Each structure stands twice: as structure tokens, then as C-alpha cells.
Structure 1
Amino acid sequence: MTTAKNGISHLRTHIQQFTATKQLELFESLKEARFSGQLVISDTQNHTWILYMYLGRIMYASGGVHPVRRWRRHIVAYCPERLSQIEEIQLTLANIAQEESRISWEYQLLSLWIDQNKISSEQATKVIRATIVEVLFDVTQAMEVTYEPIKDNLLSTRLILIDAEQAIVEANKLYSDWQEAKVADRSPDMSPIIRQPEALQQKTSAQVYQNLRQLLDGKQTLRDLSVRMKRDVVTVTRSLLPYIQLGLVQLISIGDIAPPASTPIAKKLTTTKALNRSTIACIDDSPIICQTMESIITGAGYQFVAEMDGLRAIAILLSRKPDLIFLDLVMPNTNGYEICSQLRKLSFFKTTPIVILTGNDGIVDRVRAKMVGSTDFLAKPAKPEQVLATINKYITQTKKI
């Protein structure tokens, strides 16, 4: 553990096995130093979490794979009435000072709701505690991490101070349960989707099959389903495990949902300024294509966003503003031509590279796609070297992680 004589060192420190014992050691040193600021933790997959600290105790946590999904989940669980007021949320977020919003818009909302008597302190405490435990679970599952304490960007209010030791114990208990369920190699942020509907129907009753069809749509993570079903995520995952092991249900990676309003999401902080990574998007109704593309693209150090619903694509792209878009040509309800044409009408996407993914490499498709503004083509299934060559062709990435 790297420390300084007068307290905590601000050097980035790498740990290969960030076990509960090492977590406790780190937070105990932060507590002894009465550290206030942000503890930024990154893993080898370029995921970053931020724990907001005050005098060595945790005020809030954010970041990770699905920060907006996480926020929505805990609001649904502990103050669901707030989500029915989406226009009010958007107006509130628009009025939050930009600097405060940049640090953590979710926390600022909780503070305002308490001030306005729209939620109780008890509700806010439950949301905050659940968020912190979930982040610590994800950090534990990552295992190999780099952390850096930064005395900067303090949250302006202190709703609650969580003792790190209690949160670590709770998170590690959940992780132990996850391991015992024999799913530790998978993330609860993955989404179950039916892969063989006919075979699944034969294995289940009509009622169970209908329930599974409604729930396993590839748009909800295991954690999302646990809140919807009001059961813990280990129980939900265990119930699906037989179908997963038979190959009837598959766990896939999906992207985050859009925030309730366009807010400056907290930046990844380092002492050398935020690192600039390009974001690549993939719009394709095939979960396997999206999963493959994610593996290739994130493995090369880029940020990735996927959307399988063509009708939601433009909203997601406007929210994430990718530097390059891979776009499927044939999708239910819409097609790549229409999406490409609409994107080119938006000022932000006039020059964004749009690469059409198609299994039908015909001259008619190429001519039509060029007419609506596509930049290039890539035949499906795309090989990793072709995907990366296409990205390198259109994006000059100044710095990779």
C-alpha cells in the first residue's frame, strides 16, 4: 500500500488481487488520513468507478458499466414515485449548476428531492447504500485494479456517511453468494435472452414460457430483473442457470440507458487530466453481433455502446455521441438506410463515419447506402482485424488506455 508521510499518496497504485482484505486496508488508511475527495478505481477492462469520500467515509459512488441503469434501479426500488415525474426530473437537472451536475447529477437529484420534501432521508439513504454496495461488488469482481485518491470535486452536501468496512463486508458477502451460485465468471450486468425458443418451450410449462418471453428480452440485465421480480440477483440468476447451461438462454452484454436529461456525466478523473478515448457504436438487432463487436472494440481500448432496437437508435446515439457508428442494414421496424439518412440530417452527425454492416454485399445496397450518406461497408460476420482496420481508417485516436 503506497502512503505518504502526511497522509495518502496521490500516486496511481496498481493491485492485482483487490480482495476484501486489501480493500479494508485501503479504506482504513483513507480513514486514518481523514481523506476527503474522490477515490478513482479502474480495472483492466477500462471500467472506472468513483467513490466520493468525506473524512475517510463514503458519501456516494458512481461509474461502472451501467451508471444510469443503476440509478434507475435503485430509484425504482426505494422511491418509484419519482420516476413518474420524468419531465420534472428533466427540468430539475437543467437547473442544476453545471459543475455540480458534472460531478454527480444522481446525487444532486437526491439532495434536491430531500430539500423539497419529495423523498425522505431514509429513502435517500437506502438508494445511496445500495449504490455503494453494488459498486464495491463490481470492484471486487474486477479484482485487478488501479486506484488513485484525488482531493478535488467534493460533493456540496453530505446526506449520509457510510462506513467503508460495513459496505465492504456486505459487498463481499454478495460476491461470495455469487461465487457459490457458480456464476462468478459472469457479470450481473449481463442480459439474459432466449436463444432457442422452441426448445425452451418444450422444457417449460406454457405459463413459465410466457413469463420468460416477457422477461428475457435482451434489454434488461440480471440486476434489472431482480428489482422487477423483487428477488435478489443471485436467486434470479440461479433460476435461469439450467436454461443457460443447456444453451437455451444466453447472457449477453448490453449498453447503458440514456440519462433522463442531457447532463455532463462525471468525467474519468486522473492527475494527468481525463484520458481521451473514442466511442464506437454498434446498431444491430443481433445480440451476438453486438456482443462480438463489444469484445473486439473494448479489447482494443475504445469505449463502446450498442443498441439492438433500431427505433431507439437515434436517441441513444444523440445521448452518447459516438465517434464512429457501425450500422446494420436490415432490422425489424426500420432499416439502416432510414437511420443513416436521419443521422445525416442532424448537425452533430453530418461528418461522423457511418459504416454499414450487411450480409448482402450487393451493388444495389452499396449505391443506395452511399446515397443516404454512409461512409463505408463491412460484410457480416466481420473479422476482428477488419473491424479494427476500419476504426483505424476513420479515427485517429491520440491516446488509448
Structure 2
Amino acid sequence: MNRPPVCTEVSAHLLNAEVSFTGVVRYFSALDKGEGLGTWSLVFHQGRLGFAHHSLEPLERLDRHLRRLSHQVFSLTRQNCLRIHRQVEALLAQETGPLPADLLGLSWMVTEQLLPWEAARRLNAWIGEEVLQNLLLVPGGFQQEIIPLDNVPTLGQWDGGSLLDLIQKRLRAWQSLGPEITSPYQRPYFASRAQAERLPAEQQERLGRLLKGFSFRQLSALLDQDDLQIARRLHPLVKAGILVLRDPQPPFDRLPKTYSAKLETESQPSETPTVPLHLANGLADLGPSPQASKTWIVACIDDSEAMLSELQRLLEGHNLVIHTISDSLKALMKLTTLKPDLILLDVGMPNVDGYQLCSLIRKSSVLKDVPVVMVTGHKGLIDRVKARLAGATDYLTKPFRQEELLQMVFRYLS
């Protein structure tokens, strides 16, 4: 889907409301012909914009920005991030009325003292900028729904005009990286082994540990760096053919692109530096955080030896120590000894199935905070609900590609 960005045509009225207005303004694209662009909800307090929500994968967006924030806020541990994830996931499953679940989740974090006030404001700003960038890229008009409320949670307020200027500048910067880069949700990879070998061995290793199917947005969270700056630094390698970009994963492939040949002449000149291929200057600091060099323990539990061998093959060579367990009756004892950082758990096993074992894991004082990803061929909503009720952290459906498995694993390890 290659829609031209219209950020230069959007006026500040989208981001402003009457001074007396407190409530939610929802926007629906007038040109969304069943393509699933979702709904945008802007929350105002006395005419000032305070929160921006997009219905397309709000939990993924929150998790990603929380991960970036965890580099800066040491109290935001993996356990606290998982606690926040579960709370917001529960809110999303409930009927919370017109207020977005992620806004209620942010307020809950502050109330529970999981996040200092200033950190919550920073998180709110990051989420808001991403949501509004996507909103301003949507072509055509909007259908609008206005919902007045007596009160809304406030985590800071923005000036609509200044915010619009900032977002438009960033969108023009993204535009300048085209036609090679057309979306912050694209995923860079080495084009081939031969192309990778054009770089020094140290840079090959550094980038190889990063380019595992993560988008520019996800790399921003992993590295605690601005996604636009990461894209600028990798842009010369894309132009040189060393890196290739794969399309955004669903559902982000539905979003409008940041580049259009139509607007190329209107874009500001690219500020992307001409970085030599040896990366001596421009990309020297683009590498995994210290955590990324850690060796993680992953336990894979499945009654199929063939499946365990396949999981081990797909995960090897990524700073992971893989332990396979085929007997679910002995799994809990082995897990208690291993103390893994992540558990990949099959659902359909004899004797003790995955749901039962997951419940036992959650009752263990040693294992209760370990992320558990259920790996199964069941695709139904009921199966996902059962996994959540058993205490699963996430759900991976077979068949899956290696990049999907790695993304799931590093979502909970990095």
C-alpha cells in the first residue's frame, strides 16, 4: 500500500480543541475502505492535547517504548514491565469506555509507583509522537466523533501548533530517506553474506547481532536511540546494496508510507551523512546495548523431539543457551534447577499439558516471573484466552518463520 504522505496539508486543528473542551476526539479515515487503518483517539483536557492513541497494536507500541525507557529508568525491571503488560492487556480486554486503555495503564503505573512522574511524561510523549505521525500521514479527510467527559487523566499537555511543526519536520526527514526507506516499520537485513563481507569483521558482527528482523522502531527501543537517527545511519548501507529492507510486518504494513515520489521535490535536502562503508564514524556507536552481549538461557518444552531439534536449530548462534525438555512430568523440576530467562512451551502434550504446566510455573516462587511463550498450532481465540488464564506471557502460532521466533524471544530477553 503506497499512499503519499500529506503531512504538509494537515492543519493544526486536528491537534487542538475549544478551550473549554475536556474529553476524547476520535478520528476515522474517510478513505479507509476496509484496509484496517484503525481509529485514532485524541484526549484533551481544557482544550489542550494530553494523550494520543491508535487502535492498531497499542500494546506492542507500549511494550516497545517501555523497553526503551527501561534503559533510562532502572526501576523499570523486566518483572515490572511484564506486570505493566498484563495490566494494560487486561484493560484492553475490558470495556473501558471512551478513554483509551493505554492511557489508563499509564495512570495506573504512576499510581502504583512503577514509573516516576517525569518518566511517565516521557513515555507519553514518545507514544504520542508515533501515533500522531501515523495520523498525519493518512490521506484524505477524517470522520470525527466528539465525546465530552467531565474529567480525564493528565500526564502532561502539548501545544498543538508546536507539536505539529515538530512532527512535520520529522516526517520530512523520513521522506528524505526515500525511495530506499519508506517506513519506520521496515526491517533491515544483510542482503547476502557476500555483501556483509564488504564490511570489517567487527562491524559485521555488531550489525549481525542487531539485524534479526527488527524494524527501525524496534531497534530504537533495543538501543535506546532515536529511530530516525538509526535509519539515517543505515541508509548509506541500503543505498550501497549491503542491506535490504523487508516490508513492515502485519498489521503495520497497512499504515501509510513516509516516502512518495510525488512529494520528493517538496522534501528538505537529506541530512543523512555520507557514511563510508567501513562505518568508522557514522555507525561506530550503533551496536547492541551491554545487555545484548549477555548469554540468555531459553528452555524449550515439547513432547516432539523433531520440534525441539527445529527450535534449537532456529535459535542457535544468537547468544542463547538452549535447553530442551521432552517430558512434561519432569519439566517443572528441571526448570527450577535451570532458572531460565525464557520458556517456550508447547500446548498439546500428554500427561501434563501446556496450560497445566504454565499454571504450575506461575505458582513457583522461583519461576513465577519468567516469561512463558506458548507455542502451538491452535489459532482460535479461546485457545489464546486459555493461555492467558494459565499465566502465559505471549502466544506463538505454528507454523512460524525464524524471524518471527527470534523477535518473540528477544522481545522478552533484551
What TM-score do the two structures reach when normalised by structure 2?
0.53
Matching of residues 190-269 of structure 1 within 5 Å: 190-196=186-192, 198-218=193-213, 220-245=214-239, 246=241, 248-255=243-250
What SS class does the counterpart of residue 182 from structure 1 fall into?
coil
CA separation in 1, counterparts of 2:382 and 2:25? 33
User: Within the alignment, does 1:112 sit opposite 2:108 as a pair?
Assistant: yes
Matching of residues 63-82 of structure 1 within 5 Å: 63=54, 65-79=56-70, 80=73, 81-82=75-76
* Aligned match of 2:340: none
CA separation in 1, counterparts of 2:245 and 2:107? 39
Paired residues in the alignment total 264
The one-letter amino acid of 2:199's match is T
* Aligned match of 1:50: 41
Q: 1:348 aligns with which of 348, 361, 382?
A: 382
Query: Are the aligned partners of 2:188 and 2:243 in contact in 1 as well (CA < 8 Å)?
Result: no
Unaligned stretches of 5+ in structure 2?
Answer: 253-298, 301-306, 314-345, 350-375, 385-397, 399-414
The structural deviation recorded for 1:214 is: 1.1
The structural deviation recorded for 1:102 is: 8.1
Q: 1:23 aligns with which of 11, 31, 56?
A: 11
Relative distance call for 1:234 and 1:183 in structure 2 (3 A) is farther
The structural deviation recorded for 1:155 is: 7.2
Query: Are the aligned partners of 1:41 and 1:50 in contact in 2 as well (CA < 8 Å)?
Result: no
CA separation in 1, counterparts of 2:18 and 2:180? 30
Matching of residues 127-206 of structure 1 within 5 Å: 127-151=123-147, 156-182=152-178, 186-196=182-192, 198-206=193-201
Query: Are the aligned partners of 2:187 and 2:215 in contact in 1 as well (CA < 8 Å)?
Result: yes
What SS class does the counterpart of residue 74 from structure 1 fall into?
helix
What SS class does the counterpart of residue 82 from structure 1 fall into?
coil
The one-letter amino acid of 1:47's match is L
* Aligned match of 2:318: none
The one-letter amino acid of 2:62's match is W
CA separation in 1, counterparts of 2:37 and 2:121? 25
CA separation in 2, counterparts of 1:229 and 1:95? 28
- Worse-matched range after superposition: 61-70 or 134-143: 61-70
Unaligned stretches of 5+ in structure 1?
Answer: 1-15, 258-310, 313-328, 351-373, 375-401
What SS class does the counterpart of residue 182 from structure 2 fall into?
coil
The one-letter amino acid of 2:48's match is R
The structural deviation recorded for 1:209 is: 0.8
User: Within the alignment, does 1:40 sit opposite 2:35 as a pair?
Assistant: no
The structural deviation recorded for 1:142 is: 2.9
CA separation in 2, counterparts of 1:144 and 1:102? 25
* Aligned match of 1:333: 311
Relative distance call for 1:54 and 1:216 in structure 2 (3 A) is same
CA separation in 1, counterparts of 2:102 and 2:139? 26
What TM-score do the two structures reach when normalised by structure 1?
0.54
Query: Are the aligned partners of 1:181 and 1:238 in contact in 2 as well (CA < 8 Å)?
Result: yes
Q: Percent identity?
A: 18
What SS class does the counterpart of residue 95 from structure 2 fall into?
helix
CA separation in 1, counterparts of 2:9 and 2:20? 19
The structural deviation recorded for 1:76 is: 2.5
CA separation in 1, counterparts of 2:244 and 2:139? 27
Query: Are the aligned partners of 1:57 and 1:161 in contact in 2 as well (CA < 8 Å)?
Result: yes
CA separation in 1, counterparts of 2:48 and 2:381? 45
What SS class does the counterpart of residue 109 from structure 1 fall into?
helix
Cα deviation per residue 1:230-282 (whole Å; 9 max; x = unaligned)? 3322221122223323264223222479xxxxxxxxxxxxxxxxxxxxxxxxx
